[in-house]
Chains A and B, each alone.
Chain A
Amino acid sequence: MEIPYTVHARPDTGLFNAKIGIWLFLASEVMLFGGLFSAYIFLRLGADYPWPVHDLDVTLGFWNTIVLIASSVTVVMAWACLKLRKFGWYRINMAITVICAGVFMFNKSLEYGAKFKHYAVKLTDGTILTGHMPEDEHGHTIHYTVKFGDVTELSLGIPVKQSAVTADPVDHVLPYVEGEAPKFKTEDGKEITLDKAAFAELRAAAIAKAKADKKDNATVKLTATAPFKVAARPSEIFGYTATTITFRDGTTATGKLIDDKMTLEVDGIDTRGVAQPEKSLAFDHRYLANWQKAFVANRDHHVSEFEHKYPTRDKSRSATLQKESLYFKLHSATPPAEGAAHGDKHGAEAHAPAASHGHGEAHHPTVIIEKKDITFFSNFTPKLNTYYAIYFTLTGLHGAHVVAGALVLLYFLVFDNKRLKKDPEHLANRVEVGGLFWHFVDLVWIFLFPLLYLL
């Protein structure tokens, strides 16, 4: 049994099956990315915060555009060479295409990696401080953690029925203990080392007891033989007060809050969300008061330059001016001498890979921000704002398409040699179909690049 028209076109439609299939698939892809582009427009029009403009590294994006366009050319060349039965050239062109995909993804990983290490902290007055967390001597980021000391007692809640939150201290408490894991005493005075097996035993006993008492919840109390310290990132716990900390498995520990201040090496002060930028909380005497003068100088410089260049334009409607004048970039540990460089003239700034930070001389001032001043913080991930959310979704999905397309083309190149020898026409059809998909991936990028990098 043989499905007709897999290799040769049906005369009245002029198409072989796979070609119809791929065009239909691409129609559906158009709707997929169309939906995402519509979401971008919807979010941007409805944004109630300064939409980030010129935040991405245009140079990197530009070279990626070139790389993708080149790969689209080579995939056509590969197909044409195959049609002409020039198998050597087919292989070379196909290989170049796949390599281009690799280069593209490598650049993408640089771009993503820098963002994951870059943080933004929103203060209570709307000021956003951007910067990096400090690094230890090995170059590892020291994350912001909430530190508790004098912890002795753990209270574990174990619901009898299957539930969303149930005590699992081995996975959700012990990883945050600083230093050696302590030994615990159970309520009946037995001393245990807390591990999976020991906890399973405790849990089973507690559930059996609760069932006997016709209760829905069992509680287990563990007392440490010696007080210990914990340090957890805010995303790793449910919450804390001055004396208790609740982990994500519902376990509550009592102790004393030691420290919940955040250390940040500031590389930017974004005051676009503040009514009086020069009085931003960032210039509080605890933080960056000595940078206020430089900030004002930079702002006035950009405003007067704008007035000079575009005397008829409305200052309040230029997103670029807003950004250049109110989003102040810090390039040294101390404020520049008066009359020196006015921040970053061009606004568009690559968030330099974190490797260049932290070592040797400090490039940025370090501030220690109090918890009460912070309303929100995130690294440059989808959580930061809707722009980065749609940026990561669009480029991430596009990246997934690049990888999928490259794998298919690589398969044709490496594993389809039998077909190449026996039925090159069929392989040419396959390459044509794969190439059509590849062009679509390229086309999506042609839309993505201006939308995310330039507009």
Chain B
Amino acid sequence: MSAAATSHDHAHDHSHDDHAHGHHEQSFVWKYIFSSDHKTIGIQYGLTGLIFLLFGFFLMLLMRWSIAYPGVPVPAIELIRDIPLIKDLFEAMFGRWLNPDGSLNGEIYNMLGAMHGTIMVFFGIVPLGFAAFGNFVMPLQIGTIDMAFPRLNMLSYWFFFISCVLMMYSFFVGTGPVQTGWTMYSPLASTTAIGVTSVWSHGHTWWLTAMVFNISASLLGSVNFIATLINLRTKGMAWMKMPFFCWAMFVIGFLLLLAFPPLEVAAILQLSDRVFGSSFYLPTGLMEGGQHLDISGGGSPLLYQHLFWFLAHPEVYVLILPAFAILTEVIPCNARRPLWGYKSMVYSVLTLGFLSFLVWAHHMYLTGMGTMMSTYFQITTVLISVPSVVLLTCLMISLWGGSIRFNTQMLFACAFLPMFGFGGLTGLPLAFSFIDLALHDTYYVIGHFHYVVAPGTIFALFAGIYHWFPKITGRFMSDRLGKWHFWPSLIGMNMVFLPMMFQGMAGFHRRWYDGGKYFENTSGFSHWTTTLTHKIGAFFGLDIPDNMLSLNIVMSVGAFILALGQVPFIFNFWFSIKGGKKAESDNPWDATTLDWATPTPPPHGNFLFDPVAHRGPYEYSLPGHVTDFYPQWESEPGKPETKPAADKVLAHH
């Protein structure tokens, strides 16, 4: 930190208020809490995102318990209810909804389901994938000192933080959090099933208010990302010399910028329906509990779905593109091979971004919007699979002939490829309206989507954490603990999501809180997967019935294995910050991109020299070169640029 800070000191006489920081040693608060440094903000986003991922996962564990063992008290519930403080917190958030015996009911299951989706998507993966990695890595990779608008960046994080607080607050209000699924479909979400003293004791109102802040945060973030990428690329960093990571962030920025406002509209209109009693999404003659509602009617629930999915489909690509961004760094670096088909990947990701705005209504085949519409969206949906396949294929071919280092991040990366492939391919049938009509809202859809984001995106995020950890902290995460993290995660994920495919095709609906027990007569048939489960259970002396319901137990055991698998990660993460093996070099993985040209950890202002991009970002195993990597910043082999960075500061004035 201090090395870079002092080297800038002679720039004092420029009195722009943009750099009130940097002149003096910042106090703790300004350095770590209200920081406008892109790296600190990235870490803030990252930690918040990780905590929410864990919390969302915990919600899912509760759900899985109810699915596998409906009506059975949650294990250790009495224990939790005895711990002081935790007891009260648990009681206010979940306990007050449980049955008297401590088992789950449909009401809390719906809350858990809605909040699991909301938290994982909007508070876990997007902040971690886009905001955290993007904020930390992207400005380093394009060789700039910070984002274009550092204070806006800080504001973005704090808007996000407010939205986190509001969203968590919804657990504590009168009705508890939302119960209508993460999609918040109207009219269910626009009316109040239970009378409330004031709209503010309703969890929906808080959900919507939180989303307005969340959307504003991502809007500020995306403006910042795009402006930075356009205007702050360092000397020599032409568009096609930019690492693919930055291209992906560029496209995500546009997706967030243009797709989120319609969701904001959807949220504002729904908020108006709730608070001002308007009828945007409420049709004429709507009744609830046998009574006409006190509304004018005349609106349409379809309007909500269109506005919502106009965001939420691009959002899917906001979830998956950070994964590709990270893997295009991790895979070439650890395969010691250039990224195969860099340019086709760039064009593909741009195409993908464009097409993602034209496919939203494939979530709405069942709404009866008409066969013409369905046909149109069917075509665009099938089209969009082409660029996705190009991206995945390029990553796979990049492995060909490489001398692969199987460190933890590479394990996660290698597991991503087939897992995402599986998620993607199971999505293809859903693109066709006639198949979707049968599979809509079944576990098949849940399985498909989770294969894309869980062993897909989340594995890539893990890979990214292991990869950049030495740059962030100066220490490695333990490889051994990493492997203990990887294998249970891989096994657990597949045990959770693979049986969903079978259950889904058997017609299991995604919102059954009892996992289908109520429909035992119709869901009680057996299948080779259930017979297998039965036999494996018998081997361990367990009596698991030979019918589709038994898969619920498989999945819940899988979730438990997955939970155990995260324990080594949490240990590894926190203990390696101070106790991990020290990284001796600023470029411990022998990588080629500019983020590895900074001191470790990167100081305020990032670079000690004026970085110039001399070549493309993936010059690995270059024939005739002395080492198997040729970094972007070296003008001649082994000779880093040494021009002091301070000159750059002056050059702009």
Spell out A's residues near B (CB within 8 Å): 1-6, 8, 10, 13, 15-18, 20-21, 24-25, 27-29, 31-32, 34-36, 38-39, 42-43, 46-49, 161-166, 168, 172, 234, 238, 248-250, 375-376, 378, 381-386, 388-390, 392-393, 397, 422-423, 426
Contacts and interface: CB of A to CB of B under 8 A. Distances in A.
Contacts of A43: 280, 298-300, 303
A24 B268 contact: no
Given A6-B18, A28-B260, A49 B148 contact: no
A162 B96 contact: yes
Contacts of B280: 39, 43, 386, 389-390
B462 to A, nearest CB: 31
A1 B265 contact: no
A35 B262 contact: yes
Interface stretch (B9-17, B67-75, B125-133): B9-17
Contacts of A390: 280
A21 B269 contact: no
A96 to B, nearest CB: 28
Contacts of A249: 197
A383 B605 contact: no
A386 B174 contact: no
Contacts of A166: 174, 197
A210 to B, nearest CB: 14
A165 B195 contact: yes
B299 A165 contact: no
A6 B8 CA distance: 18
28 contacts: A1-B11, A2-B16, A5-B652, A15-B230, A16-B231, A17-B231, A17-B232, A21-B224, A24-B227, A24-B257, A27-B258, A29-B261, A39-B265, A39-B280, A43-B299, A43-B300, A164-B173, A164-B175, A164-B195, A165-B195, A166-B174, A168-B197, A381-B276, A382-B272, A383-B276, A389-B280, A392-B278, A426-B16
Contacts of B261: 28-29, 31-32, 34-35
Interface size class of B (residues with CB under 8 A): 35 or more
Interface string B164-181: 000000001111000000
A337 to B, nearest CB: 37
A1 B19 contact: yes
B77 to A, nearest CB: 16
Contact of A385 (B8, B258, B296): B296
B148 A386 contact: no
Contact of B232 (A4, A375, A423): A4
A83 to B, nearest CB: 20
B364 interface: no
Contacts of A35: 261-262, 264-266, 307, 310
Contacts of A389: 269, 272, 276, 278-280, 299
Interface string B1-42: 000000010010011101101100000000000000000000
Contacts of B149: 3, 17-18, 21
B286 interface: no
A6 B145 contact: no
Interface of B: 8, 11, 14-16, 18-19, 21-22, 91-92, 96, 144-146, 148-150, 152, 172-175, 194-198, 201-202, 219, 222-224, 226-227, 230-232, 257-262, 264-266, 268-269, 272, 276-280, 284, 292, 294-300, 302-303, 306-307, 310, 604-605, 648-649, 652-653
Nearest to B7: A1
A13 B303 CA distance: 40
A281 B484 CA distance: 77
Residue among B232, B277, B278, B652 with the highest chain A CB neighbour number at 10 A: B278
B284 A48 contact: yes
A404 to B, nearest CB: 12
B430 to A, nearest CB: 26
Given A1-B605, A20-B231, A39-B307, A386 B258 contact: no
Given A24-B226, A376-B294, A381-B276, A1 B146 contact: yes
A162 B231 contact: no
A430 B33 CA distance: 28
Given A381-B276, A383-B295, A46 B300 contact: yes
Given A383-B296, A386-B280, 9 more contacts: A1-B604, A2-B16, A3-B149, A18-B149, A24-B222, A164-B201, A234-B294, A383-B279, A386-B299
Contacts of A27: 257-258
Residue among A3, A35, A376, A382 with the highest chain B CB neighbour number at 10 A: A3
A386 B300 CA distance: 10
Contacts of B224: 21
A326 B324 CA distance: 62
Contacts of B649: 1-2
A2 B20 CA distance: 10
Given A5-B652, A27-B258, A35-B307, A385 B227 contact: no
B298 A49 contact: yes
Given A13-B230, A43-B299, A249-B197, A393 B284 contact: no
A426 B653 CA distance: 12
A165 B198 CA distance: 9
Contacts of B648: 4
A165 B174 contact: yes
Contact of B269 (A10, A238, A393): A393
Contacts of B258: 27-28, 31
A446 to B, nearest CB: 19
A397 B268 contact: yes
A1 B278 contact: no
Contact of A393 (B219, B231, B268, B277): B268
A397 B264 CA distance: 12
B92 A36 contact: no
A24 B652 contact: no
A3 B296 contact: no
A164 B643 CA distance: 65
Contacts of A25: 219, 223
A170 B269 CA distance: 33
B355 to A, nearest CB: 17
Contacts of B265: 32, 35-36, 39
A42 B150 contact: no
B445 to A, nearest CB: 26
B111 to A, nearest CB: 13
A234 B277 CA distance: 13
A43 B303 CA distance: 8
Nearest to B225: A24
Nearest to A161: B96
A3 B224 CA distance: 13
A250 B197 CA distance: 8
A392 B276 CA distance: 11
Contacts of A393: 268-269, 272
Residue among B18, B195, B230, B296 with the highest chain A CB neighbour number at 10 A: B296
B17 to A, nearest CB: 9
B296 A15 contact: no
Contacts of A47: 298
A48 B282 CA distance: 12
Which 3 pairs across A and B sit closest by C-beta, in order of nearness? A164-B174, A389-B278, A382-B278
B530 to A, nearest CB: 40
A375 B649 CA distance: 70
Nearest to A388: B278
A204 B150 CA distance: 51
B249 to A, nearest CB: 14
Contacts of B8: 1
A426 B488 CA distance: 56
Given A36-B265, A164-B196, A165-B196, A382 B277 contact: yes
A361 B195 CA distance: 43
Nearest to A47: B298
A179 B292 CA distance: 34
B241 to A, nearest CB: 14
Contacts of B298: 43, 47-49, 385-386
A384 B197 contact: no
A395 B14 CA distance: 43
A392 to B, nearest CB: 8
